[in-house]
A and B are shown apart, each in its own frame.
Chain A
Amino acid sequence: KNEVEQSPQNLTAQEGEFITINCSYSVGISALHWLQQHPGGGIVSLFMLSSGKKKHGRLIATINIQEKHSSLHITASHPRDSAVYICAVGGETSGSRLTFGEGTQLTVNP
């Protein structure tokens, strides 16, 4: 069992739909990161969370420390949101070693 599990692995949506990507982890963490990677390669850091909820534009990220679970929500999805979304956790004792999930491939069709 991976330390960081994401679901679903693949997600196809129609433009405008509300999207949720889930991340569960099994280790103690100091922070959780949501990252976005487009086919060209570059990774963009969307959120870093240690508690509660953050919002940026159409993106919302939540974390429940007790349940070791985080969700990334995209409201009013758009084709340009199509990318791989990666959950990564920084452990309490791992310093800079981020443990990555396998990623969720999101495709938003017009």
Chain B
Amino acid sequence: DTEVTQTPKHLVMGMTNKKSLKCEQHMGHRAMYWYKQKAKKPPELMFVYSYEKLSINESVPSRFSPECPNSSLLNLHLHALQPEDSALYLCASSQIQGSHTIYFGEGSWLTVV
């Protein structure tokens, strides 16, 4: 199983809503990542978790709140988002943090209205 599974695939939310994006992997990877990608742009790193602890926060606004309940799951909680937060949110994992093959999920398309 070399999959990173993300749900939902599509999400439309209002600016006052609270929603969550979920990511799951069963490869025994101990590093998990959230990326944000706008149209026709490369992905931008948001957060890195290493051994279930937040390792990197790329100065992401607090309306995005990551959570790593266990080594297989990574959540991104969303609250009071802005329309400019509409993007593809990609989850990824690797064996450990650093230079190892990285596996990406299919992404969650988020639209904030």
Contacts and interface: CB of A to CB of B under 8 A. Distances in A.
B106 A96 contact: no
A95 B101 contact: no
Interface in A1-48: 30-31, 33, 35, 40-45, 48
B107 A42 contact: yes
A97 interface: yes
Nearest to B101: A48
A96 B98 contact: yes
B90 A43 contact: yes
Nearest to B6: A42
Contacts of A48: 99-102
A98 B106 contact: no
Contacts of A43: 43, 90, 92, 104, 107
A90 to B, nearest CB: 5
B64 interface: no
Contacts of A50: 99
Contact of A95 (B37, B41, B98, B102): B98
User: A42, A48, A90, A97: which has the most chain B beta carbons within 10 Å?
Assistant: A42
A97 B57 CA distance: 11
Contact of B106 (A31, A40, A86): A40
Given A96-B33, A101-B42, A45 B56 contact: no
Interface of A: 30-31, 33, 35, 40-45, 48, 50, 86, 88, 90, 95-98, 100-103
Given A42-B104, A96-B94, 20 more contacts: A41-B88, A41-B90, A41-B107, A41-B109, A43-B90, A43-B104, A45-B101, A48-B100, A50-B99, A88-B42, A90-B98, A95-B55, A95-B97, A96-B56, A96-B98, A98-B45, A98-B102, A100-B42, A102-B41, A103-B42
